Structure 1
Amino acid sequence: MEEIYVNFEYDKSVHSRSSTNQTGPRSSERRFYGAAVLCLGLLSVFLLVGLISLGVHYHNSVRYAAAELFTIKTNMTERFQDFMKELSSLSAERDQLNSSLMKMTEAKRRFERICRQNKTCPAGWTMFSCFCYFLSNDAGSWTKGREDSRSKGADLVVVDSAEEQTFLSGLTTAETWSWIGLTDREEEGTWKWIDGASLTRSYWEENQPDNGGGDTTWGEEECAHIRTGKKTEENWNDRSCNASLRWICEKMAQH
């Protein structure tokens, strides 16, 4: 019997291709999912770190803000306490001044009552608050008015109270321009009374004193006069000391 031989050879390349075709896609998917999981893990780590950092920053910010608020509150409390102390001190000083003013006012009233009872003024003079006042009939310069007042044992009037200003304003009913003892001859713009006292309360007319407003016709206006018969609070004006006006003399009432 003739023997039949079958030649069967194993093709490794075919088996290799078949194996590759079967395992390639699965391996790629595993690598993809692995990379995705890794990315998600890293993202979670970064997110966690960010949240922790944000929490720490927020905590520090809140703590810093609380400290700032506490400092501001403390400073405001201290300032308020200082203000209240100062206010209390000012209130005490005000009460003391009011008390002193009331005592001085009462003493002045008693003095005036005594003056009216025991003192008199010469003929032609008018008494007010223990002083005698004389409105001249003549007119002349500020210097002439002062010289005439001195010759009468007086001097040009010094206005040192609102009551006296009111009295002088009504000394005559007609509008009269009369010298008073106020001048800025020593220093322009610095008005002083003839007794050396600085001017603290004034009753200038509106826009006065103006030293002539720059008009040389009026000259240097260095002496003050009062306009009787005008509004009490605004009836002083400055004029050239050489102008011819009447004057008001003042002296202490006598026994």
Structure 2
Amino acid sequence: MRNMDIDQVYANIGVLNPRKKDGVGQQSVHPYRVTTVFLGLLCVLLLTGINGIFLYQRNQLNNLTKVRDQLQTSYNNLTKERDQLQTNYNTLVKKKDQLLSETGMLNKIKGRHCPKGWIQFQSSCYYNTTLKKTWEDSRQDCIDRGADLVIINSREEQSFINQLSKLDKHIWIGLTDSDTEGTWIWVDGSPLTTKFWEKQPNNNHDKDCVEFIHKSYDPGVWKDRKCQRPNSWICEI
């Protein structure tokens, strides 16, 4: 009976503590965990790479922006220099043209010999008469002399004519609007630019011709008159 009890105890112990087989009962590692770890590491590497690329591209963009700004500044500076050079060039061209004009005038004056009885002023010669004729007849007299009625292009010339007209204070000049009313044209066909009107012209009663009126003060004035009015005149060549 005692032996049976002991056997029973051992039997119970065997049930309670069975022998473990090799590899059985140990916690196994599941494949999906390995995959998860691998994917996690891959994501970290990808994020690190993307971040590196982003930083690189941002630096490149910043560098390109700086280069663009520098190029824009250089372009603006070159544009200013070009504009300044163009201004200087235009100024030099004007000075050159002015010098050529003055040189031509000086050459004319140097080589000019006015006919007897004519008075020289700058590059022109002037003939003053005390006779009195209509505007048309006065002009014809100038044409017969190889000239035409005087054309006044500057204040200096206006002052000179004022000096010539001391004896006869009313002088015909080569200005008329007989072709088109209100459009004043010099006898050489050039338009009127320099003006010395005295509250004129009023164009009343077919006043299509212009007389120069001498004044004791510089430089004299103009008035429109009827062309049939008798006046003295000045010719110019």
**Shorter-chain TM-score range:** 0.5 to 0.7
Question: Kindly tell me: are residues 162 and 92 of structure 1, through their superposed partners in 2, closer, same or farther at Cα, counting changes over 3 Å?
Answer: farther
Deviation at 1:119, TM superposition (A): 1.9
The alignment yields a C-alpha RMSD, in angstroms, of 2.8
Q: What SS does structure 1 have at the residue aligned with 2:138?
A: helix
Alpha-carbon offset, residue 92 of structure 1:
7.6
Alignment match, 2:203 = 211
Tell me what 2:119 maps to. Answer: 126
Q: Does 1:237 align with 2:223?
A: yes
1:246 aligns with 2:202: no
Separation of aligned partners in 1, 2:113 and 2:171: 24
**Aligned-pair distance for 1:91?**
8.1
Distance 2:102 2:120 in 1: 15
SS at match of 1:224: strand
Distance 1:117 1:98, change over 3 A: same
Closer/same/farther in 2, CA of residues 151 and 231 from structure 1, 3 Å limit: same
Change (3 A) 1:186 1:167: same
State the TM-score, normalizing by the size of structure 2.
0.58
Per the TM alignment, residue 164 of structure 1 is displaced from its structure 2 partner at its CA by 2.0
Distance 1:110 1:186, change over 3 A: same
Partner of 1:14: none
Question: 1:152 is matched with which residue?
Answer: 145
Query: Normalising to structure 1: TM-score of the pair?
Result: 0.54
Q: Which has the larger radius of gyration?
A: 2
Cα distance in 2 between the residues matched to 1:160 and 1:90: 34
* Contact in 2 for aligned 1:145/1:247 (Cα 8 Å): yes
What is the deviation of 1:186?
1.2
Q: Distance in 1 between matches of 2:173 and 2:155?
A: 15
Tell me, yes or no, if the aligned pair for 1:204 and 1:234 is still in contact at 8 Å. Answer: no
Deviations 1:87-113 (A, max 9, x none): x99988775554344323322332233
1:144-183 alignment runs, 5 A limit: 144-174=137-167, 176-183=169-176
Judged with a 3 Å threshold, the aligned counterparts in structure 2 of structure 1 residues 185 and 137 are, in CA distance, closer, same or farther, namely same
Check whether the contact 1:175–1:230 (CA below 8 A) recurs between aligned residues.
Answer: no
- Counterpart-to-counterpart distance in 2, 1:157 and 1:119: 17
Runs of 4+ aligned residues of structure 1 deviating over 3 Å after TM superposition are: 88-101, 172-175, 229-234
**Separation in 2 of the partners of 1:89 and 1:225?**
51
Instruction: Give the direction of change, closer, same or farther, for the CA distance of 1:191–1:140 in structure 2 (3 Å limit).
Output: same
Do the aligned partners of 2:130 and 2:168 also contact (CA within 8 Å) in 1? no
May I ask how many residue pairs the two structures share in their alignment?
Answer: 158
1:113 is aligned to 106
Aligned equivalent of 2:9: none
CA contact (8 A) 1:175 1:229 kept: no
C-alpha contact (below 8 Å) 1:220/1:240 kept by paired residues: yes
Q: In structure 2, do the counterparts of structure 1 residues 96 and 210 end up closer, same or farther at CA, with 3 Å as the change threshold?
A: farther
SS of alignment partner, residue 170 of structure 1: helix
Which amino acid letter does the alignment assign opposite residue 238 of structure 1? Answer: D
Q: Any idea what the Cα deviations from partners look like across 1:180-235, whole Å, max 9, x if unmatched? A: 11101111111111111111221111x211123xxxxxx31100111233544560
